[in-house]
Structure 1
Amino acid sequence: MFLTASNMAHYLLARGTIPPAVVVDGDFMVVEAGRRNRNYKIMRRDGSGLFVKQIKEVEPMAISTMQREAACYRMAQKPGYEALANLMPGFVDHDAARHCLTIALLPGGENLTEFHARKKIFPASVGKMLGTALGSYHQTLRSNTLHAEDLSNFPRMVPWILSFHQTSLVANNTLSGGVQKLGAIIRQYPDLQHNLTRLAQGWRYDSIIHGDMKWDNCVVYPGADGELSFRIIDWELVDYGDASWDIGAVLQAYLTSWIYSMPLHLDFNPASFVDKANFPLEGMYPAIHAFWRNYIQTAGIEKSQAPAYLLRCMEYGAARMVQTAFESLYYSPSMSNHAAILLQVSQNILRNPQQAATALLGFGGELQ
């Protein structure tokens, strides 16, 4: 049975997820919120509610990622995984037969893409919150603290973008024109291909990672004390892998926000638009630096090891930026100006991560 707004009440009653009185009293509203999946928000008058996610099509990849996410939610309920549970919405139910996951709705929540666009700033307090949360999560989920039976739920996959230059030519007939062009450009730069291969070969298995860190998957909402609270959603790509992938993804998210705020229209001259960015990069420095300082502190990274680890995260962030370019072109018939800049910035970072950390992100002092 595929879920719809009209059969949602019946489904939740049958699963015992909501009491009959909620439906009888009319304290129940269903709002469709679909993207890749069949997503529904179940909202009540007091602001509480549920978020119900079901796969759109019964196909192996969708089933696999749903099972992986559900396994992560179940694992987070166990003793010793509190840092992970504190990053996730509350787990409610997993219906394996219908490939459906139900979690608690975050009242008043908005993702960081929406939050930054509304505020028109990148607060240092948000960077600090991100760094503290991810640092605590990675520190407690290092390989020596994980149970073998829990690790068996994860496929240990190296991110596909690190081999995209090798596979995109074969898959050209199934990709959009924009993605095909992206692959063709990457194949014109042997040093970029070499760096992506090098990062794939250097991949570590040292922590449970989210695998798809981006602003859309980071949700802030008012906590019980009125202060801003934070959760990460969409754990479909959760895996046992390299913690620097998550951290690099956050660093590139700031850079990507800067690039997409540039008015790169028909007159394509990137140098002339840096100063016209709606979100200047220097204005993000307090948030970026707060994120990094609080991450290394809570993750337990030694001060002597922090500079090298920052450069490692910068490199994996650059690779994640190539993936961001891919995602932006997924339905595009041609290459976009912003995707071209993402690719160029990624290549520049990989050519000289230390220079990029200083010139782009203002990390000169952290590299001493």
Structure 2
Amino acid sequence: MFLTATNLLAYLTDVGLASGADIVDHDVSIIEIGRRNRNFRVMLSSRPSLFVKQVPVVVPETRLALLREAAAGQLAIEEAGLPTLAAVIPRLLRYDPHHHVLVHEVIPGARCIAEVLLHPAGIACDLVGAVAATLGRIHRESARAGSLARVASCLGGEAPWVVEIGEKAERIMPTMDGASRELVTAIRSSPVLSASLASLGRDWRRTALMHGDFKWDNIVVAPGSDGGRQIHIVDWELCNVGDPLWDVAGMMAALLQIWLLGGALGGDSRPAPQPPGAVPIAFVQCAAVCAWHAYSGEAWPLGDGAVLAQRRLALLTGARLVLMAFELSQRLDRITPAAATAMSLAACFFSQPERALHDMLGLQPLAPSHARNTPSDRPWRLAAAQLPVQENMT
């Protein structure tokens, strides 16, 4: 069954999520939201609004993505040891594997965080910290033994595809466009990029539930019961058992994207990209430091493992920047300047992790042997210093 705005209400009535009275009274509004999937928002006056998702093309990858999002929703409802997940994920009402449909409750009053994150005085560090702390609690709770047993069969623990792209590009992207081919060539011609990505793939960790697709579009804020703002995380199609720092690295890369694209955050009303530096790097550094402290305070106390965790964060941030380069170049014949810079930054995080964390994200090195200098005000010089990548990308 191919859902449309015309037959959707009949489908919802058949499965008990709408009623004949809604049809008779015409007390319903359906809005189709065009994104990667077929998405609909259904507003009913007699009950909470619904968000309906159906995959447009049924292939193993889309079936698995829908199954994993359903698994996250099931965990939130059934697993008592995951209270943070239950509080932040939209409530799952139906998973229909036959028609490849998910139905969630709409979060009342929700707004994409991109709408409120950036202001003239900087990045809203309170919101960034709240998101990071939320991720930390989800990771800590889901790392407990047995917490993911209910859905273990559909969470296979695969490493993100980008860490294998240098070795398996033709298998991962059999129909690569011109820009993607350029990026793959750059990775294969750079020992720093190719070796670092491959090493992350070989050493991939599977310790907690990770969202897997952190971006500002997938974070929403809504009015909280205490009068404040509640963080919610949506679109769990790429969730998996994996390295929790992958989500944190996604946040760091998303913060760097604000600087890289001059304030472009994503969402439906994104500003046109500006040159790097239109948003001062100091804004990014302040938010990144806030995020790391908030996350580490919830996920684990800073201790003997903090130095290694921070170094791994740098390496994973490099991988997320490579992923960003592919996303910025989708369906293009040539890579964009922003994608080229993202690749150069990735090489910095791989080859000089402590310096990149310090200069780009403002994180002070924890090892006592390193000097604690003030953050650099010349991140562009750091990016341009990676000659092998810069020469290949320009």
TM-score w.r.t. structure 2 length? Answer: 0.84
Q: Counterparts of 1:257 and 1:280 in 2: how far apart (Å)?
A: 9
* Alignment match, 2:346: 346
* Alignment match, 2:90: 89
* Alignment match, 2:59: 59
User: Structure 1 residues 273, 59: closer, same or farther in 2, change over 3 A?
Assistant: closer
Structure 1 gap ranges (5+): 264-271
Deviations 1:108-158, CA, capped at 9 Å, x for gaps: 323233433677842111112112111111111115242534322211101
- Kept in 2, the 8 Å contact 1:47–1:108? The answer is no
* Alignment match, 2:113: 112
Alignment length (residue pairs): 358
| Greater shift in the superposed pair: 315-324 or 76-85 | 76-85
Matched, 1:211 2:212: yes
- Kept in 1, the 8 Å contact 2:210–2:247? The answer is yes
- Kept in 2, the 8 Å contact 1:30–1:40? The answer is yes
- Kept in 1, the 8 Å contact 2:3–2:54? The answer is yes
Deviations 1:45-71, CA, capped at 9 Å, x for gaps: 699511100010122211121112112
User: Structure 1 residues 43, 259: closer, same or farther in 2, change over 3 A?
Assistant: same
- Kept in 2, the 8 Å contact 1:172–1:180? The answer is no
* Alignment match, 1:258: 259
* Alignment match, 2:32: 32
User: Structure 1 residues 45, 367: closer, same or farther in 2, change over 3 A?
Assistant: farther
Alignment of 1:294-313 (within 5 A): 294-313=294-313
Q: Counterparts of 2:186 and 2:10 in 1: how far apart (Å)?
A: 51
Q: Secondary structure at the match of 1:53?
A: strand
Q: Counterparts of 2:298 and 2:172 in 1: how far apart (Å)?
A: 42
User: Structure 1 residues 115, 331: closer, same or farther in 2, change over 3 A?
Assistant: farther
- Kept in 1, the 8 Å contact 2:117–2:127? The answer is no
* Alignment match, 1:237: 238
Identity %: 29
TM-score w.r.t. structure 1 length? Answer: 0.90
Q: Secondary structure at the match of 2:61?
A: helix
Deviations 1:305-355, CA, capped at 9 Å, x for gaps: 223212211211110111111122121111110000000001111111111
Q: Whose relative contact order is higher, 1 or 2, with alpha carbons under 8 Å and at least 6 apart?
A: 1
| Greater shift in the superposed pair: 38-47 or 149-158 | 38-47
Q: Secondary structure at the match of 2:116?
A: helix
User: Structure 1 residues 118, 105: closer, same or farther in 2, change over 3 A?
Assistant: farther
- Kept in 2, the 8 Å contact 1:123–1:286? The answer is no
| Greater shift in the superposed pair: 109-118 or 148-157 | 109-118
Q: Secondary structure at the match of 1:144?
A: coil
Shift of 1:365: 6.2
Shift of 1:22: 3.5
| Greater shift in the superposed pair: 65-74 or 222-231 | 222-231
* Alignment match, 2:135: 134
Structure 2 gap ranges (5+): 265-273, 369-394
Q: Counterparts of 2:279 and 2:367 in 1: how far apart (Å)?
A: 25
* Alignment match, 1:333: 333
